[in-house]
Structure formats: structure tokens, C-alpha cells
Amino acid sequence: MQRTTATDLVVVGAGTAGLPAAIEAAAHGLKVTVIEKADRVGGTLWRSWAQLSAGGTSLQRAKGIRDSPDLHFDDVMRISRNTADPELVRLAVDHAPATVEWLLAQGFDMHPDAPAVLHFHEPYLLPRTYWGRNAGRSVLEVLVPAFEKACGGSVTLELGAELTAFRTAERGRVAGVTIRDADGAFRDVDAAAVILTSGGYAGNPELFPRLTSGAPLAGPASPGAEGSGILAAVAAGGRVRGQERFLPTYGGVLRPGSTWETVGLDDYPALTPQSRAPWEIHVNARGERFVAEDAPSVDDRENALLAQPELKFWVVYDAAIRRSAPALFPTWDDADLDRAFQGGHPSFAVAGDLATLAQAAGIDPGGLAATVAAYNAAVASGRDAFGRACLPAPIAEPPFYAVLNHGTTLKSPAGLAVDGRLRVLGPDGPFENLWAAGEVIGGSTLSGKSFVSGMSVTPALGFGRMLGRRAAGASTEPGSM
Ligand SMILES: Cc1cc2nc3c(=O)[nH]c(=O)nc-3n(C[C@H](O)[C@H](O)[C@H](O)COP(=O)(O)OP(=O)(O)OC[C@H]3O[C@@H](n4cnc5c(N)ncnc54)[C@H](O)[C@@H]3O)c2cc1C
């Protein structure tokens, strides 16, 4: 027979949003049960760069940067071309400075160069991106001790336990959740409220195209990002939005042996022209270039990639470029590259002539030959059909190299529809006692069809804290409870 336990609040998923939710709820007197399907807490923070963004912080003031939530809001809407959800962006940017100050007050190991304007995503107009010296682990260094302390009190953590269903009560409310615990036993947990912080689906190659208008998945997401929380909410009457707001990150190489998982983000090739001017060309499966490789707007490059077959492109270069250019893979040494090209890695091809290279890589040989000839003519004349300004050398000296890259996904774009108070929307309006935060509400909700620096981790932390307080009825924010 199925056992039942009872608690004030269930938090589903002990990651970026779930940990602060549980910490705050416990600090405000609630008995909290945290359900985490992995065998450790932390979620995507183990992999994330966890860059944060906030306008109007003490760190900005100390550096003479005049910023505010209003300017941050305008910049998010500009970068996203108004495709982000304005109501939730407003909520996020208003709470972002308090999130950064809270981390600092807990001893967060802030990188001394922060805040800065970074270029991996389309840049903000002001220095407003922050990051820890140890990326996502710096955030965990703050969250985990506070969470462990709470576990000594009113928080119960169930590791290896998975939410399998919501239990609906009368119209518009949930009665709790059904879980499969670490022993494989199913159990009901009664709760006055549930906060769903189970993350996205960017670690689930089957579900990804279903929820993302058919887009293929390639990326370095956490294996826990399977989307089961989203599916459970849909089974309870929730709905998914944001399916059409997919934009790939420009580049990333698969792990050998995987059809979708890429190497870690730190090991991606250096394709950001502000950090490393390109010496190579980028071609699609037809062997055609499709963008100026040094286009300063990453949004332009990402949108150009979106139109390419299977979101694949090859970075093509020659022996002279390999010898002379700054490293394409900054974290790899020459021996790593040699191993990859000599058969150690299916995404890497090398050959003594372009036709053999094209065949080995899976590129159309005629297309590649014509493209390289046109590019070499552009290098000679200084005039490129795509307007590329950086034309350091022709591609002429064998051996020739091609590295298959993908349009990759760091966060899943679609997610559960919520209202302005982060209540999950059901068929008849919001569930009164079921809230959601983090990537489960869709990565595009706060970034639209673009990438806006820090607009996943900062709101995950900030909304998680807000909901923990809200569940305890202790929130002082406008529009709460
Ligand atoms: C490599 C990489 C770099 C990134 N860099 C940045 C960045 O610099 N800035 C930024 O803003 N964003 C970044 N992101 C995105 C950002 O890190 C994530 O969107 C965010 O951390 C997700 O937080 P979350 O709380 O929603 O999910 P998570 O932190 O993934 O937590 C979800 C938790 O729920 C658990 N779970 C899942 N399903 C269930 C279930 N059914 N039952 C119980 N538990 C469940 C999971 O195991 C996990 O522990 C990056 C992402 C990646 C992959």
C-alpha cells in the first residue's frame, strides 16, 4: 500500500531555484520536504557558468557605473527584440540587485573583473554581468552550507526521489505530489503548497524537439534536465509555451560517442570574434559560408545558423592557420588536437586536399572547393561578399582541417506558463498553491528568442527566494499572495 507523508511545502528539485526556495521557506518557519531525483543537490550549477546580471548594485556604484532595474529592463527587451515576457522580466530585474547583494552578503567569491560587458551573448550596453571565480560552483559554495544548515532544522531532503505526478485537489489547487523514492516505492506527499523547480529539458534529446518546434538538441546541459517536472505539470492541466522561441548558441563540439551531448562549455572552440578574431571559415553541409565569421553581433550569427541544415557547420582551415593563429581550442594542447584529428574524434577531419576533406567530414565537395576559392580571392582583394573584415590568410596549405560544430542549447526555451505571481496556469486559471521558478518556466520567458546574459541564473535564485517567502506568507513584495 502506498504510504502518505505530510508537510507544509514541497520543493521539487534542489538546484539553482530550489535550494534558495527551501532555505527561505525554512527561515520563515515552514516545514519543507525537498524532492531531488539526483544523488546530490546543486542541479545545473555544477555545469553552469552562472553569470548573473543586475542593474543598480553596490559593485556597480563602487566602479562609478550608473545603472538601474529600469535600464536593465530596457536592455533585456532590446536584446530580445521584445520577445521576452515583459511582466516577468520586470519582476526579475527588480529583484536582481537584491539577489546579487544577498550572494555578496553570504561571502560569494565574486570575480574581481565583475561587473563587465561580456560578448559570449549579445552584450548589454553597460557593465552588468557578474560571475564567481569558480563559476556555478561559487554559487553552490554559498547555497549548500545554508541548505545543509536548514536540513538540520525543518527541511527534509529526499535524494534519489522523483516527482512522478501532482495530486490535484479541488479546482485550482494541488493537494501535494506523488513521488518515487530512492527505494523505488511510490508515495504521496500531502502539502499545503508546492514549488516546482525541476529545471528544463535541455538534457533530453527525445523530448527536446517535441517541445521546441522540431529543433535538434546538442548541448552540455545537466543530465537531470529531463523535463519530467514539466510533463507532470502538463498532466495536471498545465500548459507549455515558448516552443517557437528557440535560438541556438553559436557552436560547440559533440563528445565522442554521443549524438547530442557536447563537451563542456569551457572546452568549446573560441568563436567569439571579440575574444579571438577568426582565421577560419564556417561552412554548412553544402560547403557554403552563411555569415561573416567576425560579425560582431552574436545574435546575427546565431540567427544565420538557425537557417542552416540540422544547425550544423564546419570550421575549416589549413596548416598555415593552425600554425599561426591563436588556438581555436584554447583548453586543448597540440597533442589533444592531433589525437582528435587522427581518428580520436568523429567531429574532426583532416586531409591532404579539400575534396578528400569534404568527403571525410560530410560536406559537399564541389561547394567547399568553390567557397574556399572565393574566400581566397577575398583575402587577396580585401573584399569579402559577407562583409568580413578579418581576412588574415588564405586557406591553401595542406593538410586541411574541418571541425563539425553544432547550434547548441544551454537552456531549454519552452516551459510552463505561469502568471505574474509565478503560479502555474491550469485550464481554469492559475493553481493557487503551485508555483514554478527556474528553467521549468522556459528559458525564453526571460530572454525571449535570444540570449541575455545572466537572465537564467539570477531570476532562478531571485524567484526561488521570493517563492520560499511567499509560501510562508511572509513576502512583502507587491503582488504577492
Ligand atoms: C553549461 C551551461 C552554462 C550556463 N551558463 C549560464 C550563465 O552563465 N548564466 C545564466 O543565467 N544561465 C546559464 N545557464 C543556464 C542556467 O544555469 C540554468 O537555466 C539554471 O541553472 C537552471 O536552474 P533550475 O533551478 O531551473 O534547474 P537546475 O539547477 O537544473 O535544478 C533542477 C533540479 O531538479 C531536479 N529534478 C528534475 N526533475 C525532477 C523530478 N521529476 N523530481 C525531482 N527532482 C527533479 C534535477 O535533478 C535538478 O537537481 C547555463 C547552462 C549550462 C548548461
Give residue-wise pLDDT tens across range 10-20: 999 999 999 99
464 close to ligand 1 (CB < 6 Angstrom) = no
The span from the CA of 262 to the CA of 267, in Å, is: 9
Asked if the domains at 3-242+411-480 and 249-408 fall in one CATH topology, the answer is no
Q: Which fold has domain 249-408?
A: Flavocytochrome C3; Chain A, domain 1 (3.90.700)
Substitution candidate for ligand 1 out of 35, 37, 41, 44 with most atoms within 8 A of CB = 44
Over residues 117-145, mean pLDDT = 97
The span from the CA of 40 to the CA of 34, in Å, is: 12
What is the band of 223 on the pLDDT scale with cuts at 50, 70, 90?
confident
The span from the CA of 145 to the CA of 341, in Å, is: 44
Q: Residue 281's pLDDT is what?
A: 98
What is the band of 176 on the pLDDT scale with cuts at 50, 70, 90?
very high
* CA 225 – ligand 1 centroid, Å: 7
Q: Report if pTM > 0.75.
A: yes
Q: Residue 156's pLDDT is what?
A: 97
Nearest CA to ligand 1 atom 49: 43
Assess whether pLDDT exceeds 80 at residue 81: yes
Q: Residue 475's pLDDT is what?
A: 59
The span from the CA of 348 to the CA of 241, in Å, is: 37
Among the atoms of ligand 1, which is closest to the Cα of residue 438? 26
Among the atoms of ligand 1, which is closest to the Cα of residue 53? 11
159 close to ligand 1 (CB < 6 Angstrom) = no
The C-alpha cell 518556466 sits at 441
Assess whether pLDDT exceeds 90 at residue 385: yes
Assess whether pLDDT exceeds 80 at residue 476: no
411 close to ligand 1 (CB < 6 Angstrom) = yes
**What percent of the chain shows pLDDT beyond 70?**
98
Assess whether pLDDT exceeds 60 at residue 481: no
Taking only the tens place, the pLDDT of each residue in 342-381 is: 987 999 999 999 999 999 999 999 999 999 999 999 999 9
220 close to ligand 1 (CB < 6 Angstrom) = yes
Per-domain residue ranges of the chain? 3-242+411-480, 249-408
Taking only the tens place, the pLDDT of each residue in 198-215 is: 999 999 999 999 999 999
3.20.20.60, 3.10.310.30, 3.50.50.60, 3.40.50.2300: which CATH number matches 3-242+411-480? 3.50.50.60
The Cα-based distances of 224 to 15, 61, 194, 217 in angstroms read 10, 38, 19, 15
* CA 59 – ligand 1 centroid, Å: 26
Assess whether pLDDT exceeds 50 at residue 479: no
**What percent of the chain shows pLDDT beyond 90?**
94
Among the atoms of ligand 1, which is closest to the Cα of residue 16? 25
44 close to ligand 1 (CB < 6 Angstrom) = yes
Is residue 78 within a helix (H) or strand (E), and if so which, with residue range?
helix 69-79
* CA 459 – ligand 1 centroid, Å: 12
Taking only the tens place, the pLDDT of each residue in 250-259 is: 999 999 999 9
> DSSP class of residue 64?
T
Among the atoms of ligand 1, which is closest to the Cα of residue 265? 1
118 close to ligand 1 (CB < 6 Angstrom) = no
Over residues 315-333, mean pLDDT = 97
413 close to ligand 1 (CB < 6 Angstrom) = no
The Cα-based distances of 437 to 11, 166, 372, 442, 468 in angstroms read 11, 16, 48, 9, 11
444 close to ligand 1 (CB < 6 Angstrom) = no
Among the atoms of ligand 1, which is closest to the Cα of residue 136? 17
